[in-house]
Structure formats: structure tokens, C-alpha cells
Chain A
Amino acid sequence: MSVAVCLLLYGAVVCVVAPRLLPYLTRGGSAPGAAVAVWLIVVATVLASWAAAAAALAVHVARTWNRPDPLALAACLAQVRSAVAGHNGLAMQAGLLVPALVLSAFVVVLAARVGRSLVSARARSRRHAESARIVGRRVAGVDGLVVDAPQKMAYCLGGRPGTVVITSAAVAALQRPHLNAVLAHERAHLAGRHHLLLTATRALAASLPRMRLFTVAHAEVARLLEMCADDTAARRHGTAALLSAILTLAGANPIPATALGATSVGVSARVSRLTDPDTAARRLGARVLLAAFSGVIVAAPLLAVWASTSGFPACGPFTA
């Protein structure tokens, strides 16, 4: 019982703290790969804590079903009341079964929504890539499909094989080394399978649009993955070429604002970190900080579960 309460509480704390604290830690884009990993760890831990809480609650209901102990029930009610106060006023009144059902239903519905979102994203991406392959031209020396369009832009789509699309206007605007930097950036996304991560975080953000953790996680992961791809492109073609490419294409076309709040992937932040690269010490510092953060995130629920199952009164203040 107190395991479930502890896990839910922990999830709530992470949902409040992480979207406020973590963007601050990863703002500068030092060690963007490590930062992406930490975001994924945070999201996975919250999801796991919900699923585990649902399971723990269900097990508890099943165990106590045949031998209702009025005292135990009263104690449980008090625990549930304190745990869900402010979250679910109705469930609070209805005993233990209702929160167990509600929590399980929530987990199942969330999984179904995310699953549906993933499937539809895959289908959309495949259709778009197929159209791009038919409409786009193969131009010698351009490692991507060139689509005739007045907008200056480049993008990539996941799938097998991945697809890089660049418009004729962008090809015309970019000098050859700059064009190669853009294409290397897109290839880095595909090689790193970034679209898989983006599809997953997007599905979560779209399934629970009110949860700040997931919308912020999606926006931040998208931003950090751009920086990862920037680093790869800069290593291969030089920072100057990549910067010139960004400046050539920046602000070229008005893209409608996105619903997920990821209106921009921090172009000025990308430019800043390219012009003013991190020192090795700063990168190490960022890594240590991120490792410590993810250590706390992962260790806390495990400790809480261990403490509550071993009778250690760690959850006492919350569950009493």
C-alpha cells in the first residue's frame, strides 16, 4: 500500500521538479548527448513509477479482498486520502478499489494512446517519404532528395531507409561546403536514430498534453538532438561552414507555430554554442552534474520502495 503511495508521490515530485530544474541544467547545451539521456531517464522513471504503483495497488487489493480488516482499511483510506488529495477528489471517497481501478485504467489508456500515436506517426512518415521519393529529384553531388519549392529548408524523415529532403531554394542559396554541412546534420539525425526518440517523446506529449513534464521533455529533447547533429556536422565540415548554413537558412520561411510548444529549437542557443565552444572542463562539469541528477532520480524510488517494504518509516510523514 505505502509502496504505491510512495511511488505516486515520487512521480508527482519529479513531474513538478524536473521540467523546472532540468532545462536549467541543460540550457547551455554542454554534453547534449548526456542531457538527452537524462531526459529519457527521467521520463522512463516517471512512467515506470506509475506502472509499478498501479501494480502494487492492484496486488494489495487482490490480497486483502477476501479478508477485509476494518482497521487496515481505515489506515489505507487515510493513506490514499493524503496521497491523492488535490489530485482526485472523487476517488478519495470511494475506498481502495476505486483508486486501484482508476490508476490501472490510466496506465492502460495512456499506453493505448501512446501506441496509437506511434503507429499513426509511422504511417504518416512513410507516406511523406514515399511522396518525397517520387516528387524529389536526384541531383548529382547532393546526398538527399531535392524538391522544387520556394521555401529554403531541409529536413529528414525516419524509416528504412531514412530520407533527407532539401528544397531547391535551399540548394540555390547555400554554397557547396555549407550545403554539405546541412546534409551532414540531417544524416547525423538519421544515423543517430533521433527520429525514434522524437516520435516517442512526441507521442507522450500528445497523449498527456497537460503534463508539463512530457511537453517540456519533448521540446528539450528536440533542441538537444539538434545540438548533437550540429556537433557531428561541425566535426565533419567545420564550424564555420555549419554556422554560415544556419545563418543562410535562418528566418527564411515562416513555419506555423507548433502545438506542442516547441516553436523553435533554440537557434540562437545553437549559434552561441558553436561560436563559443565549451572547454573540456565545462563539458566534464556538465556531465558530472547530469550524472548526479539522474542518480538521484533513479535511486530515490528504489530507496523508497525498499524502505517502505522493509518497514522503515521513511514514508511515514507522507502516509500517516
Chain B
Amino acid sequence: MARGFGDLEAVVMDRLWAREGATTVREVFEDLLHDREIAYTTVMSTMDNLHRKGWLSRERQGKAYLYVPSMTRAQYSAQLMRDALDVGGRSDLVLAHFLEQISDDESAALRKVLRRLASRKGAR
């Protein structure tokens, strides 16, 4: 797996979603050390970035920050899907769906094709 900086954001969010409650940078850092060699400052700046982008909320406790995901993974997933499905509304998002929406006309036409297919198979 690639280990770009953006990838680290995904890994950190993954850890935070898996944990219960608020977490310090040190806890995440120690958690990550099991799997990879990584600098404390890298983890700190990654979490700072995630906070700046709105993925993490934080509050100061003593000298350290306590981080907690702003939304659950499920909430973010739902938001992402809403964004993906809003294509062509007022949005500027360009993406190629495997299948676009099927209108009533279209699904009637599709059923017709399938019937034709079925009858052709039956005739063989």
C-alpha cells in the first residue's frame, strides 16, 4: 500500500473511528508504532491537518489536545453518497457512475430487452 501523506490521514481516521472516546496524539502515535516506523511530529501534524479540514474536533486538556472524530464513519459515508448522487443538480461534481438513474421509460425498455433475451434463450 502506498504511504503518502494523504494515506496517513486515512490510517489515523481509521484508528480514531475504531477507538471509543477522545484520544491524544501520543496514544495514536503509540498505536501506529506497532505497525510502522513513524515520527511523533508526523502524527501530530497529520492530526492537526485533519482538525483543520474538519474531520477531527479537539479540546485542550492540560498540555495536550484530546481529539475526537467530528462525525462517525457512517455519517461521513452517508454524506459522501449524498454528494455522489447529487450529480447534475446544482453541483459541479463530475463522476462517471457505473449506472445512472433509471427512469421509468428506461426500466420499461430494459425489461423489454430482458424479455427478448429470455425468449431467445428459450427458443434455442
**Chain A positions near chain B (C-beta within 8 angstroms):** 117, 120-121, 123-125, 128, 130-136, 138, 147-149, 151, 153-158, 165, 167, 182, 185-186, 189, 194-195, 198-199, 202, 206, 222, 225-226, 229, 245-247, 249-260, 262-268, 271-272, 275
Contacts and interface: CB of A to CB of B under 8 A. Distances in A.
Given A271-B110, A272-B113, A246 B86 contact: no
Contacts of A267: 99-100, 102, 106, 110
B115 to A, nearest CB: 11
Nearest to B81: A149
Contacts of B93: 121, 124-125, 128
A147 B83 CA distance: 13
Interface of B: 1, 6-7, 9-10, 13, 55, 73-74, 76-81, 83-103, 106-107, 109-110, 112-114, 117
A254 B101 CA distance: 6
Contacts of B96: 155-156, 186, 189, 194-195, 198, 222, 225-226, 229
30 contacts: A117-B92, A121-B93, A124-B94, A131-B80, A133-B6, A133-B9, A134-B55, A135-B13, A135-B76, A148-B74, A153-B97, A153-B98, A154-B98, A155-B84, A186-B96, A195-B94, A245-B98, A249-B98, A250-B99, A250-B102, A250-B107, A250-B110, A254-B101, A256-B101, A264-B103, A267-B106, A268-B106, A268-B110, A268-B112, A271-B113
A120 B92 contact: yes
A266 B93 CA distance: 21
Contacts of A165: 80, 84
